[in-house]
Structure 1
Amino acid sequence: MGSLFEELEAREATARKRVEALEAEVAEVSGRLSAAREGLERLRIARETVAEVLAEMTPEKPGVAVDTDRSSAVDSVASAYAGAERHVIGVLTVPNWQPGMGAEVLPRVYRDILEVVTDARGPVRAKQIVPRIGLPAEAGKIEGTRSKLKRLVERGWLDEDTPGMFTPARRRGGASPNSR
């Protein structure tokens, strides 16, 4: 019977080595997955930042005229960035609010932010909005959301009566008090 126990111990040792090898592989793949996710997140942030910069460019800044006439905006972006791999279609991602305009014209993240502010009982801060739109409460996400909130204020979708406190826009006479 001694040889049966020895055989079982040998098989257990082999199985243990296999488990350890697989755990090492999992750790390596997990590290590579984490690095790939981090790279993906950096690329997403870079793309969003470029889109925001292009959206904020004014006629005084070289290259692009921000205009509600989409065809002229596209032409000026194409000429300003001739030779770029991608052409930007429409520079103004958050249009100025106009009577009769609904939130459906906004990009998805802006609609989510607008919905949270509208549903709130009172003024809200960026750090209160971030978890409600499904983002982690990290400084970078809060600052990005604050930037989007400020853009919604300057385009007439929201009001900011107290710095950092955002409310739905009170429209007087058919126009937002914040619209230009």
Structure 2
Amino acid sequence: MVSLIEELEAREAAARVRVEELEAEIAELTSRLVGEREVWSRLRVTRETVAQVLAELSGQDVAGTAPLREPVAAKAPVEPEVRVVGAVMVPHWREGLTTVVLPDVYRDIVEVIADASGPMQAKQIVPRIGLPAVTAKIEGTRGKLKRLVERGWLIEDQPGRFAPAHPGSGGESANSRNDKGSSL
């Protein structure tokens, strides 16, 4: 006969597997969403540029230029009032941007790396941001690290080793916020 503890452990293990599968699915969908948003953005910019060039040409009375058809008005995207899991946006880094604009977990990752004495691996970061050091969490964090590299917040100086891309310009770290000046 199976004890109550063994049954609970089995159910916990099954729930953990389901959660990990859902997290992997969310990561995949998020990646696809980011790709599609980039395609959409490029197409929108291209259409706007072509419309501008055609408008400038038509102002010069260039013969043979077909009139520009009005673009179909796209519905404005609905901005959620609450955070939606799987739709986290990490902005591209630019001068003057601080970690305040990042979602909490990304900000924690950048701050941990900024406080480190050298480049770090995902497995070193996971426990420092309060997650259990299990494969699923390490891989999820590695995906976030890669996204932060793509967006210019971090660099990957060696495969799997991440460091700040802009030391000292990403905003204050957790340690600097907590340090109110000590007198020894």
C-alpha separation in 2, matches of 1:170 and 1:126: 19
**In the alignment, structure 1 residue 124 sits paired with structure 2 residue 120:** yes
How many residue pairs align between the two structures?
133
Between 33-42 and 102-111, the greater mean CA deviation after superposition:
33-42
Q: Could you list the per-position Cα deviations for residues 40-99 of structure 1 after superposition, in whole angstroms to 9, with x for gaps in the alignment?
A: 332233223322331233555xxx4479xxxx89749xxxxxxxxxxx799661100122
> TM-score, length-normalised on structure 1?
0.57
- Which of 160, 164, 167 in structure 1 is aligned with 2:160? 164
3-state SS of 2:136 partner: helix
Amino acid corresponding to residue 104 of structure 1 in structure 2: V
Amino acid corresponding to residue 31 of structure 1 in structure 2: A
Equivalent residues of 2:123, 2:133 under 8 A apart: yes
Provide the residue aligned with 2:89 in structure 1.
93
Percent of pairs identical after alignment? Answer: 48
- Which of 57, 75, 85 in structure 1 is aligned with 2:36? 57
> TM-score, length-normalised on structure 2?
0.56
Provide the residue aligned with 1:139 in structure 2.
135
| Segments of 4+ moved more than 6 angstroms | none
Equivalent residues of 1:56, 1:66 under 8 A apart: no
Shift of 1:123: 1.3
Amino acid corresponding to residue 14 of structure 2 in structure 1: A
C-alpha separation in 1, matches of 2:76 and 2:88: 10
Q: How does 1:70-81 map to 2 (within 5 A)?
A: 75=77
- Which of 24, 29, 41 in structure 1 is aligned with 2:20? 41
Q: Could you list the per-position Cα deviations for residues 116-170 of structure 1 after superposition, in whole angstroms to 9, with x for gaps in the alignment?
A: 1000011112222122122333333333222211211121111223332211123
In the superposition, relative to structure 1, how do residues 90 and 41 fare at CA in structure 2: closer, same or farther (>3 Å)?
closer
C-alpha separation in 2, matches of 1:66 and 1:134: 37
C-alpha separation in 1, matches of 2:23 and 2:119: 30
Q: Unpaired runs of 5+ in structure 1?
A: 1-20, 77-87, 175-180
Amino acid corresponding to residue 94 of structure 1 in structure 2: V
Q: Unpaired runs of 5+ in structure 2?
A: 44-73, 79-83, 170-184
Greater relative contact order structure (CA < 8 Å, 6+ sep): 2
C-alpha separation in 1, matches of 2:11 and 2:158: 45
**In the alignment, structure 1 residue 155 sits paired with structure 2 residue 151:** yes
3-state SS of 1:57 partner: helix
Provide the residue aligned with 2:175 in structure 1.
none
3-state SS of 2:108 partner: helix
User: Computing the radius of gyration over CA atoms, which structure comes out larger, 1 or 2?
Assistant: 1
C-alpha separation in 2, matches of 1:101 and 1:75: 24
Amino acid corresponding to residue 112 of structure 1 in structure 2: D
3-state SS of 2:148 partner: helix
Amino acid corresponding to residue 145 of structure 2 in structure 1: L
